[in-house]
């Protein structure tokens, strides 16, 4: 029997309420399809930092590197400096393991009304591919004389030909498996160096996929289009920061931030990839068993798909759809189900497939 090893990093806030039900769903899929999952759980994050002075132990990356994949909640707490979580955990893992693709499906689920009036299941179904290792988020800058009248701060984006090419190839290959269309969301009319170069390199890659329709759209127009005409999108290819912002908008047009899944992917599989919901640690609702577990459970399906267990991944997505269709929803979607009740229903639906 095939066996996969998974590092489950709960993180903070609602992390320890959504990761355990997510693991239960994954184990159910493993039982049904006949593969084994060996899961080790870690309490790393901002809570760990308060006790130990770091978000993970010194050998944390080395330990994560031994697993086939990482299943992650979210990090960050209101009483911990919020510049630390990305630097000490999220970006650290994403860059160390060369997870240069951030994959974020935006797909309306049955039984859920999008806040976009008149938009249905056929209209909201696309994928955001966000460059995940460089761009605006390299944290390359300085704050100088912050308290002086002449205080100044810089953050300098970094875009490399290799970084742009590798994520572009992933997006075009993905489009071939979907509806054959890539939209580059950019802002090269004002970021005339970095994003002009981004556009140029992507256009070169696009020329190698003449069967895939290619166009580009400025991010201001793209934001409006998310709301007015989401049906024009198939695969969106965009930068680290633009993708971060657009994916919360994507989660919102799906009806809740609690629904959106994501994968931080190293396509070559030289390193483990990391799967997490698009939302944060939601400290405002933590500890109440009311968080929506679907973004996390769906992220687990992306993880199984990445590991090669496509059938198990599809079974989970189908069970999620059956659950939302039958009206079992958490409070963020106007329902009254608890976190564990939604997860239990998903497992029950898998049994009946």
- Assigned token pair, 191: 């970021």
Q: 107: how many CB neighbours lie within 10 A of its CB? A: 17
The least CB distance from residue 181 to ligand NAI, in Å, is 28
Which among Mg ion, ligand NAI, none contacts residue 244 (Cβ within 5 to 8 A by kind)? Mg ion
With beta carbons less than 8 A apart as the criterion, state whether 134 and 158 touch.
Answer: yes
The binding track of 237-276 with respect to ligand NAI, each residue x by CB under 6 A or -, is --------------------xx-----------------x
Q: Which of 302, 296, 314 is nearest to 20 (CA)?
A: 296
DSSP annotation of 65 = T
| 170 to 189: interface string for ligand NAI, x by CB under 6 A | --------------------
User: According to CB under 6 A, which residues from 87 to 126 bind ligand NAI?
Assistant: 90
Q: Could you tell me the two tokens for 49?
A: 């930092």
Range 269-298, binding ligand NAI (CB under 6 A):
276, 279-285, 291-292, 295
Is residue 106 within 8 Å of residue 250, measured between CB atoms? yes
Among 234, 244, 332, 341, binds Mg ion (CB under 5 A): 244
Q: At what angle do helices 15-33 and 339-351 cross, to 10 degrees?
A: 10
Question: Does position 136 bind Mg ion by CB under 5 A?
Answer: no
- In sequence order, the 6+-apart residues with CB closer than 8 A to the CB of 16 are 10, 43, 73
Q: Which is nearer to ligand NAI, 85 or 105 (CB)?
A: 85
Using rule CB under 6 A, residue 81 touches ligand NAI? no
Q: Which of Mg ion, ligand NAI, none sits in contact with 291, Cβ below 5 to 8 A by type?
A: ligand NAI
Q: Closest-CB residue for ligand NAI?
A: 76
Instruction: Give backbone dihedrals phi and psi of 124, rounded to 5 degrees, phi first.
Output: -110, 90
Q: What is the secondary structure of 245-278 as a DSSP string? A: HHHHHHHHHTT-GGG-EEEEE-TT-SS-EEEEES
* Residue 142 to residue 301: CA distance in whole angstroms: 40
Min dist CB 37 to ligand NAI, Å, is 23
Span near Mg ion by CB under 5 A; candidates 3-11, 238-246, 324-332, 338-346: 238-246
* Other beta carbons less than 10 A from residue 118's beta carbon: 6
Question: Is residue 195 a contact point for ligand NAI (CB under 6 A)?
Answer: no
Binding site for Mg ion (CB under 5 A): 244
Binding site for ligand NAI (CB under 6 A): 14, 74-76, 82, 85, 90, 257-258, 276, 279-285, 291-292, 295, 332
């Amino acid at each position: 029997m095939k066996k996969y090893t998974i590092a489950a990093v709960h993180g903070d806030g609602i992390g320890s309420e959504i990761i355990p039900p997510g693991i239960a769903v994954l184990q159910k899929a493993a039982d049904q399809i006949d593969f084994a999952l060996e899961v080790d759980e870690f309490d790393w994050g901002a809570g760990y930092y308060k006790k130990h002075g770091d978000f993970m132990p010194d050998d944390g990356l080395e330990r994560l590197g031994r697993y086939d994949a990482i299943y992650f909640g979210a990090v960050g707490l209101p009483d911990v400096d919020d510049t630390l979580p990305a630097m000490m955990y999220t970006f650290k893992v994403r860059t160390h393991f060369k997870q240069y693709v951030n994959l974020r499906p935006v797909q309306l689920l049955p039984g859920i009304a999008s806040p976009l009036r008149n938009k249905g299941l056929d209209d909201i179904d696309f994928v955001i591919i966000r460059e995940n290792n460089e761009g605006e988020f390299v944290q390359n800058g300085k704050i100088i004389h912050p308290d002086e009248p002449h205080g100044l701060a810089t953050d300098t984006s970094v875009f490399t030909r290799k970084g742009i090419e590798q994520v572009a190839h992933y997006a075009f290959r993905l489009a071939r498996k979907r509806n054959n269309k890539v939209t580059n969301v950019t802002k090269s009319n004002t970021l005339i160096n970095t994003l002009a170069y981004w556009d140029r390199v992507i256009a070169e890659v696009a020329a190698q996929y003449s069967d895939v329709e290619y166009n580009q759209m400025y991010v201001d127009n793209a934001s409006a289009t998310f709301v007015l005409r989401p049906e024009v999108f198939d695969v969106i290819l965009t930068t680290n920061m633009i993708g971060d912002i657009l994916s919360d908008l994507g989660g919102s047009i799906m009806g809740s931030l609690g629904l959106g899944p994501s994968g931080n992917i190293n396509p070559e599989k030289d390193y483990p990839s990391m799967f997490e919901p698009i939302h944060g640690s939601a400290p405002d609702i933590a500890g109440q068993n009311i968080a929506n577990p679907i973004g996390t459970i769906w992220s687990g399906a992306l993880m199984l798909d990445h590991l090669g267990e496509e059938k198990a991944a599809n079974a989970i997505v189908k069970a999620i759809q059956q659950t939302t269709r039958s009206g079992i929803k958490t409070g963020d979607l106007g329902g009254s189900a608890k976190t564990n009740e939604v997860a239990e229903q998903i497992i029950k639906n898998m049994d009946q497939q």
